[in-house]
Amino acid sequence: EAVVGAFAATAAGGVLVPINPALKAPQVLHVLRDAQARVLVTSAARWQTLSNEMTAQASAVVASLQAVVLVDAPASPPPQDAGPRGLARIAWSELLHAPGRARPRVIDSDLAAILYTSGSTGLPKGVMLSHRNLVVGARSVVEYLDNREQDALLAVLPLSFDAGFSQLTTAFTAGARVVLLNHLLPQD
């Protein structure tokens, strides 16, 4: 879902803001507020944690958020969430069967992604990347690593980090296969 969501967001003219799954609820809410996120793609359990945090602290509400897409929800969830503002809830499975729409016009200098720093010296800060930044970066890595279609890349870093996301874009640029390692902590 993370990979499909990443490419779908940019193809739809949106801006991708990948969030490290290891972040605690207050950190996630900071990123969502700072990026002025309109749609959040997450699991039902993670949404419950975030929703509880927003309910507990009215200041934690993300005013820009309009919808939550739940990757593990059954089809046809209730149209409104019991969360802090009654946000629309959408099941991932319903998005997969939704009719296609015309793609918006996107040019290479348009904003494609905002990657957040680790926040080791304060709150995480967003680094803005254009479509050109992502494409040129991927092509550069493919060239100096000499990646080929027959390669398989193991993506061990979170997609929220530039190097982690680069593993994904590099594999796609080379036509190679990328294998995602789903873990939160190094011991996993």
pLDDT in tens, 126-156: 999 999 999 999 999 999 999 999 999 999 8
Q: At what angle are helices 25-35 and 44-56 packed, to 10 degrees?
A: 80
What's the CA gap between 48 and 52, in Å, rounded?
6
pLDDT of residue 169: 95
At 118, is the pLDDT very low, low, confident or very high (cuts 50, 70, 90)? confident
Mean of pLDDT values over 76-104:
75
Is a pLDDT exceeding 90 seen at residue 108?
Answer: yes
At 124, is the pLDDT very low, low, confident or very high (cuts 50, 70, 90)? confident
pLDDT of residue 112: 96
52, exposed or middle or buried, with CB in 10 Å at 0-12, 13-18, 19+?
Answer: middle
- pLDDT more than 70, % of the chain: 90
Is a pLDDT exceeding 70 seen at residue 178?
Answer: yes
Mean of pLDDT values over 112-131:
89
pLDDT of residue 185: 65
Helices (H) and strands (E) in the chain, counts: 6, 7
155 SS3 class: strand
- pLDDT more than 90, % of the chain: 56
Q: Which of 154, 155, 148 is nearest to 174 (CA)?
A: 148
Check residue 103 and report its DSSP letter.
Answer: P
What's the CA gap between 156 and 172, in Å, rounded?
16
Question: Can you point out the beta strands (E) in the chain?
Answer: 39-42, 67-70, 88-91, 111-116, 126-130, 152-155, 177-180
pLDDT in tens, 40-80: 999 999 999 888 888 887 767 788 999 999 999 876 555 55
